[in-house]
Amino acid sequence: GAIKDPVTGCESNIRLKVTTTIGNTVNPTTTDTTQDFCSVGAPTVASIQVNEANVVWYTALTGGTVIPATTALTNGIYYGNITDPVTGCESKTRLQVTVTVSDPSPTPTTTDASQDFCSTNAPKVSNIQVNEANVIWYSAATGGTAIPATTALVSGTYYGVVSSTSGCENSVRLAVVVKVNTPGIVTTPRTTQTFCLSALPTLANIVVNEPNVVWYTSATGGTPLAANTPLIAATYYASALNNTTNGCESATRLGIVVNFENDALVQLTTTDDTPCVFKGVTYSIANGKSNYVWSITNGTIVSGGGTADGSVTVSWSDIGPGKVEVTYTNNCGDTTTKSLNVTVATCSDLTITNTVSNPTPNFGDQVTFTITVNNVGEGSFINTIVSDLLPSGYNLVSSNTTVGTYDPNTQLWTIPTLNSGQSVVLTVTAEVLTSGNYTNVATIEISTPLDVDAANNSASASVEPICLTVYNEFTPNNDGSNDLFRIDCIETYPNNELKVFNRYGSLVFSRQHYENDWDGTANVSGVVNRGDMLPTGTYFYVITIGDGTVKKGWLSIMR
């Protein structure tokens, strides 16, 4: 700069040098224009969050005096400004921040600083009892991370505070000692127990395997009963005594049904209400204790029946009435007598079947009849006799039985014993004669006891002999005697076919609808020419009669 004289116009010989700086204004910023603080942290103006340094604060949007940074925060609006230390430029617009200073909620309270829980209930952190809402829990008295409310409880100490969205938690946490208990279990050798009313039983008489048991009249809830409570016929529920104090009140209780002896209601029981002759049936008495005396009418004791036996097995000797009686000392020490009248039935049923090995044999063939007798009832049979009288169309060859004996003279089969479910077999082999009756009938003639159903005591089997007699030797020499290969009854099978092979298996003759007219001349060219007389020798024939039946064998040509 220079000074110019207004009169003379003279300027300063040396000019003044001045350096200038023009600065820009900067507006402060923040990530949260509404900021919450907790009074226990003693927040000051310096605690307000901004993104820039050298921010000063005012109580007004414009003007005013800078608030010292150490000034304690109060609820209200604060205005931030940045002053450039070089240029002195201030923010064009001050940053407005709303401040809320909160006091922490009081320490939560509880009615029980030592709380018991039951493992069977799967308790969680949210199950800890407090009197206030929105309580969160820590594993330490200070610091740490809040435990999720769904976390499973374990035995230990938990520390609770009322949660705050502003993070203003009380520094003094509520300590609660937690114990997670396993419920006591009650067991018994008998879930149904019977007592003598004359003994005046009480709850203390119910048998369980564990001590210190309390009893209820319901499976859940209710009030414990005194141990000297008289028993009635009902269901009682047992729980371990410590379950009443360890948080396991809801643990499953053991139910025991209490009954009383009533001798009049206890009768002889049986494994079969309709006993069968010769079949073992067991009779029992449920409330007996000792001194048994068994008596049986029309039957025999098979097993049991001693003075120490509460049951007896009887084999009934015959059909008709029978009786079981027992005198004994019952569970209450009284002597009593029980009896049971029975009606014995046969209960047995015999069946018979008869089959033949070949229903279409040739005359002179042997066939085998298989006669099977089955005991399909519940009882046994003795001395059963079966007849199998061969008719005139057969000649007896041999016989065999799996049980008993067969007399070929009388043709009677005697079966000494046939138990329930047992089957026995007679096989009879016979030659088929050229004439006679071919229906073989097997019949159950008699048994002990008598069969209840005689309708299935007879069975028959028959054959239809085939009249195909092959004369396997002929002499085709034109002497008028035995010149042709003859098969009796072949005319009754018009769909027949005859094939003849030499001994090397080569076909030499073939004819459908054979009519007993072959004179030994080949009609197939091969090893011999068609029309040639076959030489003397042995040949093999195969006859198919049209219904699937095949007859084969050797024949001889003699010249």
pLDDT tens digits along 370-427: 999 999 887 788 899 999 999 999 999 999 999 999 999 999 999 999 988 899 999 9
Average pLDDT in the 21-41 region? Answer: 86
Cβ neighbour number for residue 530 with a 10 Å cutoff: 12
Quick one: tokens of 69?
Answer: 């940074």
- Encode pLDDT of 76-102 as tens digits: 999 999 988 777 788 889 999 999 999
Q: Is the pLDDT of residue 260 over 60?
A: yes
Confidence of residue 287 (pLDDT cuts 50, 70, 90): confident
Backbone angles phi and psi of 47, in degrees to 5:
-80, -15
CATH 2.60.40.1080 intervals, the chain = 265-344
pLDDT-derived band of residue 334, with 50, 70 and 90 as boundaries?
confident
Mean pLDDT (the chain, rounded) = 92
Say how far apart CA 87 and CA 80 lie, in whole Å.
18
Between CA 68 and CA 43 the distance in angstroms is 13
Rounded Cα gap, residues 529 and 457, in angstroms? 64
For residue 249, pLDDT over 90 is answered with no
- For residue 360, the model assigns a pLDDT of 87
Please give the full DSSP string across 324-384, using - where no structure is assigned.
EEEEEEETTS-EEEEEEEEEEB----EEEEEEES-SSPBTT-EEEEEEEEEE-SSS-EEEE
For residue 23, pLDDT beyond 60: no
Q: How far is CA 387 from CA 161, 373, 412, in A?
A: 103, 12, 5
Tokens linked to 223 = 């009030």
| Element of type H or E holding 102 | strand 95-102
Report pLDDT for 345.
Answer: 82
Helix (H, G, I), strand (E, B), or coil: what is residue 179? strand
38-42, 98-102, 113-117: segment of lowest average pLDDT: 38-42
Length of the chain: 559
Provide the CATH number for the domain formed by 265-344 in this structure: 2.60.40.1080
Q: What percent of the chain has pLDDT over 70?
A: 99
Question: How far apart, in whole angstroms, are the C-alpha atoms of residue 519 and residue 534?
Answer: 9
SS3 419: coil
Dihedral over Cα of 127, 131, 136, 142: its sign: negative
So what CATH class is 469-557?
mainly beta
> pLDDT tens, 190-240?
999 999 888 899 999 999 999 999 999 999 999 999 999 999 999 999 999
| DSSP string of 70-105, one letter each residue | TSBP-SEEEEEEEB-TTT--B-SSPEEEEEEEEPPP
Domain with CATH 2.60.40.1530 in the chain: 350-462
Any idea which architecture 350-462 has in CATH?
Answer: Sandwich (2.60)
